[in-house]
Amino acid sequence: MSMLNNKLDNYKIILASGSPRRKKFFEEMGLDFEIQLKPVEEVYPDTLKGAEISDYLSELKAQPFKESLQKNEIVITSDTVVWHKDKSLAKAASAQEAREMLQNLSGDWHDVITSVCFTTHQQQQTKHKITNSSFAPIQIYATC
């Protein structure tokens, strides 16, 4: 059992994410956890910028759990945004939109911002990490 599991031995960890990458990350850390999903409309005020958006959305995803959390439960929610030219890039809705997004990122820098929110019945704490990333210039070809 890992040292982290020893510290969390009396807690039930709830990962509120359907992301296979996040599930794998928890498994690789050796954490005992369960996945629970509750639907949330991921809408944020347009006045938010950068990490404020991912912080807000990760906290929003914890809201449906707050009233039912037991004393020994910790719910972990997360959100990632791509911040480019003072704008948040949402997931592409189509192949064409994805091509346009990649073309805009081509040869330029952007921030990948991930926020993680830890919520118990008594408190909530949110942390984020910003990774400045770039794409080499790429040529995007349209498909028929």
Do residues 106 and 138 make contact, with C-beta atoms less than 8 angstroms apart?
A: yes
The answer to the question of residue 67 being in a domain is yes
Residue 3 has pLDDT above 80, yes or no: no
- Classify the phi-psi angles of 107: left when phi > 0, otherwise alpha if psi is within -120 to 50, otherwise beta: left
Per residue in 28-68, pLDDT tens? 988 889 999 999 999 999 999 999 999 999 999 999 999 99
Q: Read off the amino acid at residue 136.
A: A
The answer to the question of residue 7 being in a domain is yes
Q: In which element (H, E) is residue 55 found?
A: helix 51-66
Residue 144 has pLDDT above 60, yes or no: no
Please state the domain count of the chain.
1
* CATH at residue 69: 3.90.950.10
The answer to the question of residue 70 being in a domain is yes
Closest by alpha carbon to 120, among 76, 56, 54?
76
The answer to the question of residue 141 being in a domain is no
Residue 7 has pLDDT above 90, yes or no: no
Burial call 60-79: b when 16+ CB within 10 Å, e when fewer: bbbebbeeebeeebbbbbbb
| CA–CA separation, 14 and 69 (whole Å) | 10
Residues near 106 by beta carbon (within 8 Å), at least 6 away in sequence: 135, 136, 137, 138, 140
Residue 82 has pLDDT above 70, yes or no: yes
Above pLDDT 70, what percent of the chain? Answer: 92
Q: What is the pLDDT of residue 71?
A: 93
| CA–CA separation, 87 and 46 (whole Å) | 10
Positions marked catalytic: 79
The answer to the question of residue 47 being in a domain is yes
Q: What is the pLDDT of residue 1?
A: 46
Residue 36 sits in which domain range?
3-80+113-128
Residue 111 has pLDDT above 80, yes or no: yes
